[in-house]
Structure 1
Amino acid sequence: MLAGAVLSCVGQRISSVIAGQITLQWDFSDDLRRMKTTLESVAALLEDAEKQSMNEKTVWLWLKRLKDAAYAISDIIDEFEADTQWIQQPTEKMSTLKKGLLQLATMVPCLTVHPKIKLANKVKALRQQLKEITDQHTSFTLNISPSINMCNIPDERATSSTVDKTVIVGRTGEMQIIIHHLTKSLADDFTVFPIYGIGGIGKTTLTKMILSDALFKDYSRVWVYVSQILDSDKIGISTISQLSEEQSHLTEQQMIHNQLAKLLAEKKILIVLDDLWGNDGSKFDKLKEMLKSSKETNIFSTSQLGERYLKELLGLSFLQDLKSSSENSGVFNDDDDDQVTRLTMHDLVHDLAISVMADEFLDGSIQDNANRSNCRYALIKDFSKPLESYVYSPANIKALHFLDCGKIGLHEVAFSSAKNLRVLDISECCIQRLPDSIGDLKQLRYLNAPGVRHERIPDCITKLFKLMYLSFHGSSAIKALPESIGEMNGLMYLDLSDCSSIEKLPGSFGKLVKLVHLNLSKCSQVSGGVSESFESPHQSRIFELI
């Protein structure tokens, strides 16, 4: 459920708000501090709660309520930031009118007091709700330090070297290849032979077959199930018990090392470390030093693809990596496909995401979808209906993607009720005109709206101060962008490729100080130098102009 990750992010946001010293007519920073303290007090229990939630429905429901409350806190903070975005210190670049409005807001508090009252009331109510939820943890047996009791919990995945070759089909070829390579290294005093891969592909079974091969009949053989914690003392005690055929009760590390030295001396040993996790090289080096006392030691390690591989996999799953040999010029030629690398999500990561977010994901094509009340991420195939016909609480939706809607006109109510939407993809819709309700999505960070068939983009889109990605690709009917587009101070990526009717960029365009990627390919009518439009240079800007 990843409740811990959500609570951690929200706690950081609360800290940022408090540190920012937001000035209010009513000081609710105390409420925020109390909420942060409440989250911190329950955070120590979340690891154990996540484990128990897999089998205990009541714990699962408690975590869900806690995560929902954390999302609500985040939404409140976003709402306040959006409502007070224009209340800032005057700058030299502001127009005289805007400076005058800011001075008026300072002189007349009633102009700014409304969002503050609304936020203060919501914060107080949510703080009470959060306290009620967290207090419920006393109904469960949750351990602050579950690792202390781990040794008392039997591991159902524990293995032994026993194998019945009559029920194994295949793997003979792989076994012979490994034995061939291993034979070459038998002359060495110490060899480590890792067999690694994702769980369930047969690493342990293959190792059992190798261990039982006649090649190792003269070897003392040891099998140790390691799992996620690499404990060299535990491995040493297990090795001593198997070699001496007596239960070892040694506790001191030096005594374990001394006993191993006696048992391993002048022997040929084959040790299997099954289900080895982690990437702590220092621990493994310590283990190798402990086992080097024998005449010949060979270590087989069956390893899961651990944390490092998972991080790399996740890191490659969502990136769009743009590389160019002409980095100095900052210009891409649209025909040079070899300069652009696009990475799609790995199947394993996709399955992982679906599994983790199963209770929050809605597929509108599935009848009687069970996630109508929990939905935060939605795929919908018919946007002629209001969102309320798909979900109970549209305001909870964070990401919305309409699929296969090319024959249906975009309706005003398609997304207007999703006030906290961060991602909106209408790339597979028939967009006759972008609705004015788009300006109500104050939390929007990503908007993909290609192929707009109207010559005008509503001016209210420039009020989306948090928007970072905007694409109107292929909207050949658009004749001009809103004059106030420079107010979108969060915009970083703008795709206007194939917007062939645009003749010039608005005068405020140069105020997009965070813009790092601009695509104007096939916009041949745009006049004037693009680089000269910006008020300040930016070394990392990328322009696609051809």
Structure 2
Amino acid sequence: MADALVSIVLERLASVLEQQIRQQVTLVVGVESEVDNLKSTLQSIRAVLGDAEKRQFTEELVKVWLERLKDISYQMDDVVDGWSTALLKLQIAAENPGIPKPKISSCLPSPCVCFKQVSLRHDIALQIKDIKKQLNAIANERNQFNFVSSSTIQQPHRRITSSVIDVSQFCGRDADINIIIGKLLGGSCQESSSLYIVSIVGMGGIGKTTLAQLAYNHEKVKSYFHERMWVCVSDPFDPMRISRAILEALQKKSSGFHDLEAVQQKIRTLIADEKFLLVLDDVWTENYELWEQVESSLKGGAPGSRILVTTRNENVSTMMGTTYKHPLGELSKEQCWSLFSNIAFYGRSREKVEELENIGRKIADKCRGLPLAAKVLGSLMRLKDNKEDWESILNNEIWQLDVIEKHLSTPLLLSYYDLSPAVKRCFSYCAVFPKDQIIRKDRLIKLWMANSYLNSRESIEMEKTGGDYFEDLVSRSLFQDFDRDDEGNIISCKMHDIVHDLAQYLTKNECFILEIDDEKEVRMASSFQKARHATLISTPGAGFPSTIHNLKYLHTLSATGMAHLNTAKLPPNLFKHLVCLRALDLSGHRLIMELPRNLGKLIHLRFLNLSNNLIRGELPETICDLYNLQTLILSDLLITLPQGMRKLINLRHLEWEGSRVLMLPKGIGRLTSLRTLTGFPIIGDHFRRDVCKIGELKNLNSLRGGLVISGIAYVKDAEEAGEAELKNKKHLHHLELEDFGRLASAASKGVAEALQPHQNLKSLKISNYDAATEFPSWIAASSLAQLKKLEIVYCAQVTCLPPLGELPLLEILIIKNMKRVKYVGGEFLGSSSTTAFPKLKQLIFYGMKEWEKWEVKEEDEEEEWRSVMPCLHSLITCECPKLESLPERLLQITALQKLHIIDCPTVRGGIDLSKLSHISQVQFIGRSDSIASSSCMHSRECKPDSLRPKECISCWKKSTIMLPRDETNKFFIIPGFSDESMSNYDACVL
């Protein structure tokens, strides 16, 4: 890890000297030779760091030497960053004549090395000389250790293209899974009202959580329990946090409760007479009083409810009153080999497997039956192509070090050693996250970026480099429990607690997680004094610790989700002391209403998250003094951005998901580094003249992801709209165009034409396109060849749908509230292909009040000569009161699995339910007269009591209820129910 820090400093030294030359400014004179000496010394030290890092586990003096080197590297980084920032200030002042020129003595880089505040130039020169002196002493000391020098630097691997393997099918736990599932599903006539608890007990890395996940996600388990909740408990055991997690799992949304009794009362209400499964993963506490506070809210479920616990400690299992305890032992030799080999030999030829199998079996034996070890070692060997590399791992001296067994997993350490210095640094930084915390990939990469771990002198995006590093760690099984987006990309993950232990060990005295107690102020131990990264975790009633300012060397401070603080007021001098901060996360406090004005003193700051607070109005202008800021996150706020935003020339990500940003200040277009801009609200000149116009999008061609442009009605004409040059934004994949409402018909069409996006666009939403009678011509196959999702909402004057069937990759189409459309036919399908909508999977029509007729061919077409929507999986029509029928051709599509007809009362005669046998889910929701052909259904009478509450989706105007088929009857029908008789039931599913 020290080698990564040294590499960062070397890159920064070279960069700042180039910056001085480029700007033709000699801010610091007479230090060129000092800097050259620093670089030379650092390069010679870096050559021995590979050997030093391996020896630190057995030689305490080497470990101390490395700690000193890391400390001086951090100091150098702070000084160089201050130097770079001072140059940046001069650059911004030159480019913005209206901004006062900065005083040369007002921008001290940091107090991280204490000198008198004389002048910036003199101060930096003195600091560099002092650092050189300390570094020379460290360099001289290395000679006593006789380190082995290496001239090569390990680079990140790029071999693997599919980095994540599903190992569940060969985890070697089939018998254990069957037993656990049997205990979860099995009932007993002797089952009492007390909680039925199943505990999985075993050592760390043995596979307890994996076994629980396999049981939790088993299809039989999913269909048996009405409610399923998964809560990561870990240590400490916090009844409030755990109860809120249970409630949020039940509600499928965040909880606004901050009182334990209120939370638990809501839980009791939601699980009353419901059969539920609750998984409490990684329980450590043996304190029954703490467990009792959670247990008391879980006793009202229906018989058959279960709690599944994973723990390392048998005493925990006993304390919780376990009904059945399942001890989990090591894998057998063959099971371990199966797990290892399926990962290590993934994608290899038979010849290669035969060549490496004997060595592989010997390596697998060293896993000692631990699934985590087999998984990590298998992932490591998957990166090794030749026999020599495999033998090197097998014979590595680290297997002989007894000290390793006391602290760490040897396979994990081998995997860590195989990382490049840059990826090592990124991995160890993850110690800043509490155990079991969900880690968002994009947020993690931005934090790495804020700490200068992704700097590259090549023309590679830092975010791309961060993504590659993340994938490298994923490929080695150092991350797990992935969540993915609709396209299968990883969006979040977790770390196994043993992997987290390794990261913590590597960052001892550097990364801390501090628990804030309501009984006493946080005491900062002496070991905290040089901490660089800290996360605060609070308990109810605690206050923000005033002593946090003692951690004056912090680079990262995360104090998120502390909404139950006794006071959310920040210590007044907090930012006066923590001036080395690179990343500050204050999200989720909810009670913070304003920010201290001295926030602008954090000149090193690159990441700032203020989401989910009660900040209102204009953000303080001092934020615009944060010239290094790369990421600003303002989600769920009601704010106006300050006028000086144009000064934040390094800003790459400006996010405000869920916020109402009232306006963007003039000059946003100068932020050409922007990669993320959540929205672009446009307001009229008669409101304010100091706001940006749509033309400021012109130079923001690095924008990625999604962009919402709202208030388009305030765009004067097509010429002004064209200044945005959306067609040049090739990295923009999601676009929303909103609020054309005030424009006249011709102007609206012209503005829309001028807002043509790049052909790489994948998702488009057009809403409130009220005045124009037709859509822009670019909604066509030639202009949107990559489009996968299209949503058209509130287009009041349009009478005819465009030829969307020609879009070759369109998968999702949503059309809402087009009030004047009466007919949908061949014009909708288009005419340029033998297949209309070749990739469409989901089609939704909603609120089409005047729609009467739907055909899937031209009116004068005699034969159905082409395929229509062959991939259609889901068809939904909702609130289309005049629609007469659905096209029979669509209902016969073999891929169709979901048909929902909701509140379409005039659909009559055209649906023969006997021909829908291939559709697994059919829903008719509305009045009984909405289905004229109900007599053709198989039916049998059933009483409301036989229904399970809350088993299906929302239903209104209930009078005909259709239920899931069984083996004998295709459909169940319950005729004649009134609203009152069905008031407790949420669903009707056919």
Shift of 1:470: 0.6
Map of 2:749 onto structure 1: none
Structure 1 counterpart SS, 2:129: helix
The answer to whether residue 562 in structure 2 is matched with residue 398 in structure 1 is no
Corresponding position of 2:442: 320
| Equivalent residue letter for 1:461 | I
Give the Å deviation of 1:538.
0.6
Render the CA deviation track for 1:241-291: whole Å, top value 9, x for unaligned. xxxxxxxxxxxxxxxxxxxxxxxxxxxxxxxxx99958453556999xxxx
Does residue 425 of the first structure (1) align with residue 428 of the second (2)?
Answer: no
* In 1, Cα distance between equivalents of 2:700 and 2:584: 31
For residues 248-327 of structure 1, the aligned pairs below 5 Å read: 279-283=383-387, 319-320=441-442
Q: Who is 1:510 aligned against? A: 669
Kept in 1: contact 2:665–2:692 (CA 8 A): no
Indicate the SS of the match to 1:85.
helix
What code does the residue aligned with 2:651 have?
L
1:512 Cα deviation after fit: 1.5
Farther-moved stretch of structure 1 (311-320 vs 135-144): 311-320
Distance in 2 between the 1:47 and 1:198 partners?
A: 28
* Matched residue type, 1:281: D
Q: CA deviation at 1:398?
A: 0.6
Match of 1:463 in 2: 625
1:166-195 Cα shifts (integer Å, max 9, x gaps)? xx97627749989xx9xxxxx999934649
For 1:444, the aligned partner's letter is L
Q: Determine the C-alpha separation between the residues in 1 that align with 2:351 and 2:493.
A: 44
| Mapped partners of 2:703, 2:684: distance in 1 | 22
Match of 1:356 in 2: 506
Alpha-carbon distance between aligned partners in 1 of 2:353 and 2:641, rounded to the nearest angstrom: 70
Q: 1:189 to 1:122 in 2, by over 3 A?
A: closer
Equivalent-residue separation in structure 1 for 2:651 and 2:43 (angstroms): 34
More helix by share: 1
Q: Distance in 2 between matches of 1:286 and 1:57?
A: 30
> Would the aligned equivalents of 2:603 and 2:627 in 1 still touch at CA under 8 Å?
yes
**Superposition deviation, residue 431 in structure 1:** 1.5
Of structures 1 and 2, the one scoring higher in RCO (CA 8 A, sep 6+) is: 1
Structure 2 CA distance, aligned partners of 1:342 and 1:44? 36
- Superposition map of 1:25-424 within 5 A: 26-88=29-91, 94-97=95-98, 114-144=119-149, 171=332, 174=335, 191-192=354-355, 194=357, 202=365, 279-283=383-387, 319-320=441-442, 338=486, 342-347=491-496, 350-365=500-515, 369=525, 371-380=527-536, 381=538, 384-386=544-546, 389-390=547-548, 392-394=550-552, 396-406=553-563, 407=565, 408-411=567-570, 412-424=572-584
Which residue number corresponds to residue 635 of structure 2?
Answer: 473
Aligned-pair CA distance for 1:56: 2.4
Relative to 1, partners in 2 of residues 1:442 and 1:200: Cα closer, same or farther, differing over 3 Å? farther
8 Å contact kept, 1:446–1:470: yes
- AA matched with 1:475: L
Contact 2:441 2:490 in 1 (8 A): no
Where does residue 488 of structure 1 map in the other structure?
A: 648
Is the CA contact (8 Å cut-off) linking 1:376 and 1:397 kept in structure 2? yes
Instruction: Give per-residue Cα distances to partners, 1:77-133, cap 9 Å, x unaligned.
Output: 111122232223987xx45445x959x99xxxxxxx932111111111111122122
> Contact 1:385/1:414 (CA < 8 Å) preserved in 2?
no
- Would you say 1:454 and 2:616 are equivalent positions? yes
User: Matches of 1:487 and 1:29 in 2, distance apart?
Assistant: 29
Whole-angstrom distance in 1 between the partners of 2:609 and 2:124: 31
Distance of 1:27 and 1:472 partners within structure 2:
43
Q: CA deviation at 1:76?
A: 0.3
Alpha-carbon contact 2:51-2:147 (below 8 Å) kept: yes
Distance 1:174 1:140, change over 3 A: closer
- Contact 2:653/2:676, CA 8 A, preserved across alignment: yes
Tell me, in whole angstroms, the C-alpha distance in 2 between the residues paired with 1:286 and 1:372.
Answer: 41
Give the aligned partner of residue 534 of structure 1.
697
Q: Distance in 2 between matches of 1:198 and 1:24?
A: 61
Post-superposition CA distance 1:322-376 (Å, at most 9, x none): xxxxxxxxxxxxxx97368522244365444223212211222187656312311
Q: Secondary structure at the match of 1:494?
A: strand
Deviation digits for residues 55-92 of structure 1 (CA, Å, limit 9, x no counterpart): 2222221211111111111100111122232223987x
Structure 1 gap ranges (5+): 106-112, 148-167, 182-186, 207-227, 229-273, 288-302, 322-335
Q: Which amino acid aligns with 1:538?
A: N
Report the counterpart of residue 250 of structure 1 in structure 2: none
Q: Any idea what SS the aligned residue of 2:584 has?
A: strand
Structure 2: where are the runs of 5+ without partners?
105-117, 153-328, 343-349, 370-376, 392-410, 431-438, 444-483, 517-521, 686-690, 709-735, 737-990
Inter-CA distance 193–470: structure 2 relative to 1 (3 Å threshold): same
Counterpart of 2:577 in 1: which secondary structure?
coil
Structure 1 length-normalised TM: 0.62
Counterpart position of 1:291: none
1:441 to 584, 602, 621: 602
Q: Take 1:85 and 1:58, find their aligned partners in 2: how far apart are those partners?
A: 41
Does the 8 Å contact 1:493/1:518 carry over to 2?
Answer: yes
CA deviation after TM superposition for structure 1 residue 421, in Å: 0.6
Quickly say closer, same or farther: Cα 1:531–1:134, change in 2 above 3 A. same
Matched position secondary structure for 1:281: coil
Task: Report how far residue 525 of structure 1 moved.
Answer: 7.6
Query: Whole-Å Cα distance in 2 between the matches of residues 494 and 13 of structure 1?
Result: 25
Instruction: Give how far 1:516 is off.
Output: 1.7
> Partners in 2 of 1:463 and 1:438 — Cα distance?
9
Q: 1:439 to 1:205 in 2, by over 3 A?
A: closer
Give the drift of 1:467.
Answer: 0.8
Q: Does the C-alpha gap of structure 1 residues 307 and 393 become closer, same or farther in structure 2, counting only changes over 3 Å?
A: closer
Secondary structure of the residue that 1:75 maps to in structure 2? helix
Query: 1:497 and 1:415 mapped to 2: Cα distance?
Result: 26
Range moving further from structure 2, 194-203 or 366-375: 194-203
Q: Secondary structure at the match of 1:409?
A: coil
CA distance in 1, matches of 2:548, 2:331: 49
> 2-side partners of 1:421 and 1:114: how far apart?
22
Q: Secondary structure at the match of 2:34?
A: helix
What is the letter of the counterpart of residue 695 of structure 2?
Answer: E
